[in-house]
Amino acid sequence: MRLLLDQGIPYQQRIAGEDVGIIVLSAITNRMRDLEPLVPRVLEALRDLKRGQVIHVR
């Protein structure tokens, strides 16, 4: 699993068929105070994430 802030990664790299799933975070800024509210949705995404899948959390 990879947790990323770079929203362009799914378009820059081939994800399908990889052994890793990716969660991409989207917040107003990359500061902790803006990312912290996403934590419950990240935990939910982790339960559902499969290999080669990209999940966007906003």
The pLDDT score that the predictor gives to residue 41 is 97
User: Domain locations in the chain?
Assistant: 2-57
Quick one: tokens of 31? 């500061």
pLDDT along the chain (58 residues), means of 10: 81 75 92 97 96 92
The pLDDT score that the predictor gives to residue 16 is 67
Separation of alpha carbons 35 and 13, rounded Å: 24
Neighbour tally for 27: CB within 10 Å: 16
The pLDDT score that the predictor gives to residue 58 is 93
